[in-house]
Structures are given as C-alpha cells and as structure tokens.
Amino acid sequence: MSAELPTRRQELRALWKLALPIAIAQAGQSLMSFVDTAVVGRAGTQALAAVGLSTAVFFAVSSFAVGLMMGVDPLVSQAFGAGHARRARALLWQGSYLAVIAGTVLAVPLVVVPRLLPSFGVDFAELPEVRDYLDWRAPSLPLMLLFISTRSYLQSAALTRPLVVATVVANVFNLGADILFVFGGEGLPAWCGPLRLVPAMGVKGSAIATLLCCVLQWAIVAWAVRQISVPGGMPSVRPVRADLLQAVRVGLPIGLHIAAEVGVFSLAGVLARWLGPESISAHQIAISFASLSFTVALGIGNAGSVRVGWAVGARNTPQARLSGLMAFASGAGFMSLGALVFALFPEWLARLMGTPPEVIPLVVPVLMVAAVFQISDGVQGVGAGVLRGTGDTRFTFIANMVGHYGVGLPVALLLGFGLKLGVVGIWWGLCVGLTAVALALFWRFERQSTGTFQPLEA
C-alpha cells in the first residue's frame, strides 16, 4: 500500500487544491465580523466596544454548536472515501436536522444572557447596544449551522466552487449592507431611491446586515447541493435517531473543545473590558486580525480532515499519515507569513481598521504578541482538523482544556493583573496556552499515525 502513496509535492498540491477554496469559505465567516468591526469602529469607541462584547458573547455560545456540527465531517468524508456516496447524502440530511435543533436551542441564551448580566454586577455603558446586536444576530445561528453542515458535504465531495461563490457574494453584500444600516442612507445619491430612507441604526444595523448575509450564503450552497446527483438514487430524508446520536457522539467533544478555545478568548475580552473600553477595543481589533489569518489555517485543517478521512475510509493509514503531516507543515508555513505581517506592520493594520487614536498605543503591542503565537495557532488549528478526520475528537478537547485553562489562563491573570501588564499580559497568556495545545495535538497525531486507523463506521 505504501508504494501507492503520492510524493510529498503531489500531496501538497492535492491538499492546497482542496484547502484554498475551503479557506476562502472559512475566511468568509470571520470576514463578516471583521467588516462589522471595521465599519462600526468608525462610529466611535463605545460602539466598537459594544461590538467587541457582543461578538465575544455570540462566539462563546455559538462555538459549541459549530463544533457539534463538525461531528458530521469525518462521517461524511469517510463515507466518500469508502465509496458510499448515497450514505454521505443521507448524513447531510441528518446534519441539517441537527443544525436546526442546535441552532434554535442555543439562540435562546444569546437573547437572554445580556439581559441577565446586570444581575451579576455587569452594567457597562454599552450594554443596551449589546442587547440590540444580539437580538438580531441570534436568528442567524441556525442558518450558520446549516451552512456549516452543507459545507461539510460539499468539501468532502471535493465540490468547493459553490463555497467560494457563496462566500464572495455574501461578503460583498455584507459590506454594503453594513455601511447602509449602520450609518443610514441619507447621504446616498438620488438614484438610490428608497435606500435613502433607511435610518442609521448603529450597532443593531451591523447585526441585521450579517443576518441577511447568512440567509444568502446558505441559500446558495443549498441550491448547489440540489444540483448534485447521487448514484443509486436519493436516500430517505427522514430523521434517523441512530445517525443523529452518532453525529452527536463524534461532535460533542469537538463542540466542547471549540467552546473551550473560543471561551478563553471571549473571557480574555471580558477581562480586557475590566481594564477599560480602550483595552476591549484593542482586544477586539487584534482578535479580528488574528481570526482572519487563523481562518486559512482552519481551511488547511478542514482540507486535511477531508483527505485524512478519505484515507481512513479507504483503510489506507500510510496515506492518512502523509496527508496529516503535510497539513501540519502547510499550516505552520502559512502562519509564519502571517506572523511577519503582524510584526512588521502593526500600526498600519491598526489604522486600517479605523482605530480611534486613544486605542492605537494598546493595539500595536497586542498585535506583536499575536505575531508570536501565529505558528502555534496554526498548528493547533490544523491538528484539530487532521485528528477529526481520523475520528479522534476527545483528545483535542482534553488538550484544549488543559492548555488554555490549566496553563494559559493562569498566566494571563498573572501577567495581566498581577504584574500589571494589562491587555498585553492577557494576550501573552493566550500565547502560552495555544503553544501548549499545539504541541499536544502534533504529538497525538504523530503517535497515532504510526499504528492503524479504523473508520468510525467499521
């Protein structure tokens, strides 16, 4: 079987052919929040702080559901690897049911949590704007999860063009809608007609724009799936309890690990807010850039997950090992470039976001810390993907809990508050946690891939 392996160059070419469009689609999700931050940042420090807090709450809640949906990834990719296209389509339907259920249930705390914060002594000036934002952003969660479920199917089928189209169309629409709804249409030329009547809605307008984009994005990929024929005829579209439970069993550790990772960054945002609105604004701008570069690593990780899943489904462990190691190398290589950009142009990046003058002195050193942890961030993002392709999802959760909460968070508290380094110290703690997770995940794959991988549905 090893004689059939491609060369490293061939594997890299195949990996990037799949990874590039997936990374574009992945980046599209973060780009919406990036654009929200860039547009709202021009409305003032309080509005920017409101979006920062809102985004922290949204991703803290939604990250678990996103990870839960990723439990469909290895099931679908291994089904395609085994040559069972009809089974893969059936799993898409089960993933869609799971998306609607999880998205609807978890949208509730997005609306309720901001209203409970004053009861716990949290009463920031921007809290009313946070409530407005999340009231309109919450309905987008089921749509986002439906898109992720459909994305799993399309990427496992190696049909990635619809993902790129949906991402580009949605983000172009988001930019225009953000500007229109945040600042209003009063200043538009006469030929814009009724758009001139749209009132300025500030932070709430940004959330409405993102909600509309989620509708558009999912509609495009859903239409693309309908054009794909299935050998042997379409499977039943009814919910299957056993399939739903299997997806939950695989996805639950992924959901917990992503919630742990996003949760620690969200917690860092809350800690930064205690230091003042300038600190949370600096955190939000830096996390927007760091998240944007990380989406490429996630795209590589998703492509690695698919290629590893194909190999595991075909019971070809040497191919799975090669695919995984090339994904690790690609992630580390790309994120090294991101580190250079952050290190060389921190002030330019800060000004690109329309950062208020009083926030720039904090943004620049935080971006320098982000430059340091780029490689670790990329390796751990890819590691989660390739281990997901093998069906090994529990270890990733354990590694994230120990790395972020057992190592990174105590360091963040010590440096940020104990040694009075502020938001920069908090980010150094995040850096230490990411490095611990990256080392653990690479060790796990290196060890597991020397044995024999078994498909989840063996």
Mapped onto helix, strand or coil, the DSSP state of residue 228 is: coil
In three-state form (DSSP H/G/I as H, E/B as E, the rest C), the secondary structure along 361-378 is HHHHHHHHHHHHCHHHHH
The tokens for 328 are 């690790």
pTM: 0.78
**Strand, helix or coil for residue 411:** helix
| Helices assigned H by DSSP within 232-316 | 241-274, 277-313
Task: Please state the length of the chain.
Answer: 458
Half-sphere exposure of 363 (CA within 13 A, CB side): 28
Contacts of 245 (CB under 8 A, 6+ apart): none
Q: What is the pLDDT of residues 372-421, one digit of tens each?
A: 989 999 999 999 999 999 988 899 999 999 999 999 999 999 999 989 88
Per-residue 3-state assignment (H helix, E strand, C coil) for 107-152: HHHHHHHHHHHHHHCCCCCCHHHHHHHHHHHCCHHHHHHHHHHHHH
Q: Which helix (H) or strand (E) holds 95?
A: helix 85-116
Number of Cβ within 10 Å of residue 447's Cβ equals 9
Cβ–Cβ contacts within 10 Å for residue 317, how many?
Answer: 21
Residues in CB range of 120: below 8 A, 6 or more apart: none
* Cα distance between residue 251 and residue 264, in whole Å: 20
Three-point CA angle 185, 188, 192, nearest 5°: 95
Q: How far apart are CA 149 and CA 432, in angstroms?
A: 32
- Give the pLDDT score at 194: 77
Which of the residues in the chain have pLDDT under 70?
A: 1-3, 41-45, 120-126, 185, 188, 191, 197-198, 458
As a whole number of angstroms, the distance between CA 200 and CA 203 comes to 9
Which residue has 């007609």 as its token pair?
193
Element at 45 (helix H, strand E): helix 45-69
Compute how many other C-beta atoms are within 10 angstroms of the C-beta atom of residue 2.
Answer: 10
* Contact present, 15 and 331 (Cβ < 8 Å): no
Nearest to 392 by CA among 325, 329, 332, 452: 452
- Residue 125 has a pLDDT of 60
Q: Max CA-CA distance within the chain?
A: 68
Residue 397, both tokens = 């959760």
Asked if 314 and 249 touch (Cβ cutoff 8 Å), the reply is: no
**In Å, what is the CA distance from 50 to each residue of 131, 300, 373?**
9, 32, 26
CB 293 within 8 A of CB 18: no
Would you state the pLDDT for residue 420? 86
3-state secondary structure of 285: helix
